[in-house]
Structure 1
C-alpha cells in the first residue's frame, strides 16, 4: 500500500464520492478486492478467504481503519474487538489524514470519523462514560473481547432503541419495541445466530427487528 501524505483527504464511504474521475484516496474500494476474491473462487468456500483477507488487512493502518468503519455482514463482539484493537494500534499515524465519510460537506478528523461510524459501539458497550473517543473505544474493545452471552445481550438491549429509531415501516412496532419481547427472542437464538448480533451493531439489530416483524406477520 502507498503511504498517504499528512493532511491528505481519504474517502472512507462511497456515498461521499461523486467525482469518480478525481484522483483521490478511496479506502472504501478495499471491498472491491474482497469481491474480486469471491469471483475468483466462483463464490465457493469464500468464508476462509474472507477471514484471511481481513486478518491480513488488520495488520495495516488502512486495512484496520476500513474494517473498523465499514463492518461487513453481521459481526460478533469478538471480531469487533479485534477490529477496534487493530485500529487503536495505528491511532497516531491515522490522525495525520482527513476523512470524508457520508457527506461531502464536512471533512472529519479521525476522532470525528470514529464517532460518526462507531458511536454504536461506545453507546452499547460503555454507555454514559466520559472520556475521549480513543479512551471509550479502548474500553468498548476490552469489554467486547471478554463478553459473555449475557454481557452481549445487555449491550444489544441498550442499543435496540437506536435501531428502532431507524426502522420506519415496522408493521408490529409495539410488539418488537417491547424489551421483554426482544429479550425473549434474543435468548431463544441458537449460538451461531446470537454470535452474529453479539457485537450490538445497529445495522445488524435493525435487520433482526425486520426479521421479527415479518415473522409476526406470518403468525
Structure 2
C-alpha cells in the first residue's frame, strides 16, 4: 500500500455512519480481509476512501460515542474489523495475523492513529516506536481533523489527543520539557527504536510512580513501590515477558505490579 501524501485525512467508508451500520460494515470488512489473507497472505485495500472534512470530529474511543443514531467517523470500531478477520480464520494463529494486519494499516493515516491510540498489545518498546513513527509520518493529514477520546464534549487537536493517549510513552522516554508534542514523540521514537534492556528498565522505573498512583488494594505497597525491588523483578523476567512491558505502558506495568503483589502474598 502506498503511504498517503494528501494534506487532508482520508478514512475508509466502513468507519463512517451510524453505530449499528459501522459495526456491520467493519465485521464484513474483516471477513473480506480474512478471505484474501487465506488465499495469499495479503490484505485488500478498502473499497472506498472518504475525505474527512476539515475540522470534522473523529471518535477515537468508545466512551466518547454517546449518539449511536448519528452518522459519525468511528475510528475505534476498527477493532471490529480485526474481530471479523479472526472469525474468518476460525481464531487460528491470530497473533501473526494481527501483527500483519497492523503493519498493513500503519501504512495509512487512519491505521497509524488507531494502533497508536488503542490498547492493542503487545506494547513493547519496538512496537510502540513503529506505531508512533507511523503517526509522525502522517502528521499533516491527521492534524486536519478533531478528535473525541475519553470525554464526549471535548474536541481535541491531534497534539491534545496524543497527549491524552500517549502521554505515558512521552513521560517514560522523553521526560517533560519545553519541547512540542511532535518533538517529544520524535525523541521517544528514536530512543525506543534502539533501546537496550537496561534502557527499558530505566524508562519503566521512571514510570512506576505514575503507575503506583493508579494501583488500588495493594497488600504490599511498600515493597512493590521500592525501586530496588522493581529493578530486581524486572531483571529476572524472561525475554518474552520483558518484551511485553518494555515499552513502559502504564496499563501493562500496573498488571505487573498486581502480579508481584500476589506473588508476595504467597511467600
SS where residue 136 of structure 1 aligns? helix
Q: Which residue of 2 aligns with 1:41?
A: 89
- Does residue 202 of structure 2 align to residue 154 of structure 1? yes
Q: Equivalences for 1:81-120 in 2 at 5 Å?
A: 81-120=129-168
Matching residue of 1:57:
105
TM-score by length of 1: 0.97
Determine the structure 2 residue equivalent to 1:20. 68
List structure 1 runs of 4+ shifted beyond 3 angstroms. none
Q: SS of 1:115's equivalent? A: helix
Shift of 1:58: 0.3
Deviations 1:21-73 (A, max 9, x none): 11100010011111111222222111111011100110000100011111312
After the TM superposition, which of the residue ranges 126-135 and 205-214 deviates more from structure 2?
126-135
Moved more, 35-44 or 108-117: 35-44
The residue that corresponds to 2:258 in the other structure is: 210
Distance 1:10 1:40 in 2: 28
Following TM superposition, by how much is the alpha carbon of 1:175 offset from its aligned partner in structure 2, in angstroms? 1.0
Give distance in 1, aligned partners of 2:121 and 2:130.
15
Q: What is the CA deviation profile of residues 84-136 of structure 1, one whole-angstrom value per residue up to 9, with x for unaligned ones?
A: 00000000111110000000121100000000001111110011332100000
RMSD value over aligned CA atoms? 0.9
2: CA distance between counterparts of 1:169 and 1:103? 27
Q: SS at 1:34's partner residue?
A: helix
Are the equivalent residues in 2 in contact too, given 1:99–1:110 (CA < 8 A)?
yes
For structure 1, which runs of at least 5 residues remain unmatched after alignment? none
Higher relative contact order, chain-length normalized (CA < 8 Å, sep 6+): 1
TM-fit CA distance, 1:205: 0.5
TM-score, with structure 2 as normaliser: 0.80
SS at match of 1:128: coil
Match of 1:78 among 104, 111, 126: 126
Gaps of 5+ in 2: 1-11, 13-49
Q: Which has the larger radius of gyration?
A: 2
Residue 163 (structure 1) aligns with: 211
Number of residue pairs matched? 219
SS in 2 for 1:99: strand
